[in-house]
Every structure is written in structure tokens, then in C-alpha cells.
Chain A
Amino acid sequence: MVQRVVDWVDERIDLSEVRQFIAEKGVPIHAQKVWYYLGGLTLFLLAVQIFTGILLLLYYRPSAAEAYESVQFIVSDVEFGWLIRNIHSWSANLLIAVAFAHFFSVFLLKSYRKPRELTWLTGIVLLFLMLAFGFSGYLLPWNELSFFATKVGTGIAGTVPFVGRFLLRLLRGGDEVTGATLSRFYGLHVAVLPAITTALVALHLLLVQRQGMSVPIDVEQRAKAGERLRQMPFFPNYVLRDVLAWYIALAILAALAAFYPWELGKKADQFAVVPPGIRPEWYFLAMFHTLKLLPSHILGLEGERVGVAAFALAALFLVLVPFLDGRSNRGERSPLFTALAMLGLVYLVAFTIIGHFAK
């Protein structure tokens, strides 16, 4: 049956190129090949997010008066609504964790080096988009925690020099976090970000398929020296392993969703006393804690502004990594960028943990 459908399509549009591509595609085998799974895993979790997100749209209502109640309705009245919402929340967090792991593995293996600069660029932007998804999605249940976290988060945008006020009002849809903010974040979360993400993921995948998998620099050097590079056929050998990894991720996701339900908390109230321990989602904790530690003034400038400027520079640096790392581009070892990546990793992990336990 499947064969007949394939034949039918094949007769009309020649699929031989695609078939040949799949048949010939190989995945290199070496000590670091385990990191290859992270990209596919990120893609799988993104698919889970799109699927469960569309389902949640059936019942969610984006207004200050109804958002909280509609989520409450989803988790308590709609059959399996608790499951869909928990999977969406858990998968979001796993997605960001896996995306960060993917990012660091690519960084440390220098896979961004020529000719894969564009793959790196789209990947970095996708990582930022995932954080934007997290930030905008966090507000949607309209509960106390997310309300105040959004106030703080959008407040940071307000410290940007010159355009801060404009940015803050643009993000909030007014001077304060209100129902107008919720409408904006909702539009961002379900329309703007998905549209950009879809296009970038398509480009990212196209580049990966077109250029094949990158191999670590030392493996590349050995291959150049005449050593035969071992390969595994992409189909079915590698695909089977990939699907198995997805299957395991699905099992973990289902277990987490079933046993650790995501809290809904109390409905947001603008005039309520801010509950203690307001903090953002874990993936913003390192940044959050850094800003907390900065003194109020650094060299005559507002500490907050210095911090935000530093983060902006770090983001810009990440975008430019493939263009700054000349040694990797020449196929040489690049210990400076390995050190920078490790430094970034240690900073993020340490500050996330400290931020988690800090009062």
C-alpha cells in the first residue's frame, strides 16, 4: 500500500534524487557521535510543543478575565486536559535544556567552523527564539508568579538606554503588565514566534542535510592524514537510533507529566502583595541572579544597565563565533574558544544553581 502511494507520486514527480540522497547519506562514527542525537531530540520536542500547543488553543482564552479560568478548566474539566498541559509545560523545559546541550556540544566540537557558519547562525537565533517562547508562554496562564516575573522581565527591557521606555511599552502594550500584555504575549507565542521558528528550522535542517554532519577537528585531521572515516548509513541504521531516542524522550515526558503535574498557582492580581521568592523560569535564573548581584552603580553607570549591556554583548559574541574563531576555520585546534565555551557553561550552571538556592 505504502509502496503504491510512493510509486504513484514517483511517477508524477521524480523522487529518485531524494531516494538516492537518503540511500547515500552517511553519519560519521567517532568518539563524539553521541552529541549528534541532541539536534534530533530538540526537533522532536519542538514537534511535541507544536502538537500540544495547538490542542491547548482549543480551550485557552487569552484575556485577563478568562485566561486563568480557562487553564483551570483545561486541567480540571477537559478529559486528559491535565496531561496535555503538563506535557506542554514539561516538554517546554526539556526542549530548552536539550537545546542548550545541543548548543554547547556544537560550540565545544567547533561544528560552526567553515562551511557551517549559517547553520550556527540559524541555530543561535533559534535558541533565542526558544527563550522567547518560554518567556511569552510563562505569562499565558495568568497566575501570580508569571505575572510578577513578566513585570520584572519586561522591566529589564526598560533599562535599555534611549529606547528602553519605548521597548517596555511595546512589550507590555502599555505602561503596566495588564490584559493588553497578555494579548501581545499570546499573539507572539502562537503566531509570530512559530512562524519565524518554522522558517528557521526548515533552513537549519536544509543546511544540515545539504552539508552532512560535521566531524570534530581531530577526527578531520586524522581523515586528512589518510585514515578511513567510519560511517553508518543514515537510513535505516541512524534513523532507527534517532527514533529510539525520541521514544525514550516521550516516555520520560509522559512519566514527568503524569507524576509531577505543573502547578497553576493563584490567579494574578495586580494589587496583591508580591509573594516572596518571585523568580523567573530556571533558564533565566543565571541572568536574573547576575543582575541581582550587580551593585547599583558601576563606574558611574546604573548597574542594571551595565549587566543588560553585557548580556547583549555576549549574545552578539555568540552570533559572531564562527567569524571570530580563525583557528577552527583553518582546521586547527582552537583552545581559546574551547575555554570560552567551558567558561560560559560553568557560569550558566553555577549561577543557575546559586540563583536557585539564593533568597
Chain B
Amino acid sequence: MAKLDDIRVADDREVNRRSFLDTVLNVGYVSTAAAIAYPVTRFLIPPKSGEPATASVVAAKAASLRPNSGIVFQFGNKPAIVVRTTDGELRAYSAVCTHLECTVQFKADTSQLWCACHNGIYDLSGNVVSGPPPRSLEKFNVNVRGEPGDEDIVVSRT
């Protein structure tokens, strides 16, 4: 058996029992590590929430929203805001601030949308007035549906 250790395959490459076993073992280590790392990595990646992308949602009763006010409601898994301007017009935007994803709110004294985190201010068309936000807010469609006097405000993606 000792002779086996001395088999020469090529001029400068020698395969002996030790290097052969080392290679076999290393393949074993690497495949074991891979067999553990792969499922663990896949486990760490969160699955999709399973919720279908929300198309439209009832935000509030139309009667409950007075002029110059706004309310935040849930649109899918994110907040959105519907406001009634002083003229009585309804508008809806994503309430996710384009700066760092805080939730914006309606500021009645200036009739603006305001992000409390970094003082970003948007006008009621969703455009940035001042502060750090880089883009205007995403705009949604607003419809009013239902029996007169008991209408729902329905907000949908444009």
C-alpha cells in the first residue's frame, strides 16, 4: 500500500492518499456548509405578504369629513390620506412621505400636508412646498359612492 503514496500523475503534480482524502473531505465540508446555508438564507428572506395589491378601499363616510380636514386611512398595508379642501373638493394621496417614509398629516391652520418627522410640507396637490422631501406625494383617485346622505369615499389607485 505504501507504493500508492508515490503514484505520480504529472511531472509537477502529485496525487497521494493524503491529498486525495483531503480533497474528498473538503468537498464534504463545503457541501455540508452549502446544504445548511442555502435553506437558512432562503428562510431569512421574508415571503411576500400574500396580500394582493390593493386596488380600491373605502376611506371614510363622506359626511364625516368636514371641509379643511383630512384623515389617514389604511390603503393595502400602507397609510394614505384623504382631505377635503375648504372648497369641499376631495383629494387623496399616499400618506407615505417621499423623504424617509414617515406618515404625513393634515395641518388645518395652513391647509397643508405636513410630515412631522423632518418638517416636510406639501400643498394640497401633493407637491413639495418646503423641507427635505424629494418628490411629490403619490396621488390616488377619489370617488364618492352610495346612497345620498350616506356616501362612502372610495379611494383607488390611478
Contact = CB atoms under 8 A, between A and B. Distances in A.
Nearest to A77: B47
A78 B47 contact: yes
A55 interface: yes
B55 to A, nearest CB: 23
Nearest to B40: A55
Nearest to A83: B39
B26 to A, nearest CB: 13
Residues of A in contact with B, size category: 10 to 19
Nearest to B35: A254
Contact of A84 (B39, B46, B47, B50): B39
A79 interface: yes
Interface in B15-64: 32, 39-40, 42-47, 50
A83 B43 CA distance: 9
Contacts of A235: none
Contacts of A55: 40, 43-44
> Of B39, B43, B44, B50, which is in contact with the most chain A CB atoms at under 10 Å from its CB?
B43
B50 A80 contact: no
A58 B44 contact: yes
A79 B42 contact: yes
A331 interface: no
A247 B46 CA distance: 29
A79 B43 contact: yes
Contacts of A77: 47, 50
A81 interface: yes
B43 A78 contact: yes
A79 B45 contact: yes
Contacts of B47: 77-79
A81 B50 contact: no
A55 B40 CA distance: 8
Contacts of B32: 247, 250
11 contacts: A58-B43, A77-B50, A78-B47, A79-B43, A79-B45, A79-B47, A80-B40, A80-B42, A81-B43, A83-B39, A250-B32
Given A58-B44, A77-B50, 12 more contacts: A55-B44, A78-B43, A79-B39, A79-B43, A79-B45, A79-B47, A80-B39, A80-B40, A80-B43, A83-B39, A83-B43, A84-B40
| Nearest 3 A/B pairs, CB to CB | A80-B39, A79-B42, A77-B47
